[in-house]
Amino acid sequence: MRMAKLSEVKDGLSRYVERVRRGDRVRILVRGVPAADLVPVPDAGTDPDPSLAELERAGVIRRGRGGVPAEILRPGPRGRGRPLSRDLIDERRSGR
């Protein structure tokens, strides 16, 4: 995030707006005290979690671009009237 005095922003507003349009953020200082932030306006298709977008820009994370495979969303096999824990215990005892 870039810091800028209010007088600098007033004198070169279009330059700062262009930086913000490219994804940068500008914190405006009034007498050395943070007073406002210039941030990009989210467009209609933006991420609902801007903190993730910021982490991605910083190179900390990389989010997937694809969807969730259908087989993950399908319900698993139904039990045979027994608790799943019983099946797990039996499986471990038999060594399968």
Q: What is the full per-residue pLDDT of the chain (96 aa) written as tens digits?
A: 899 999 999 999 999 999 999 889 999 999 999 999 999 887 656 666 778 888 888 889 888 878 888 877 777 766 567 788 888 898 899 876
* For the chain, domain boundaries: 2-73
Residue whose entry in the numeric block shows the structure tokens 């797990």: 88
| Close Cβ partners of 1 (under 8 Å, ≥ 6 residues apart) | 24, 25, 26, 27, 37
Q: What is the pTM of this model?
A: 0.46
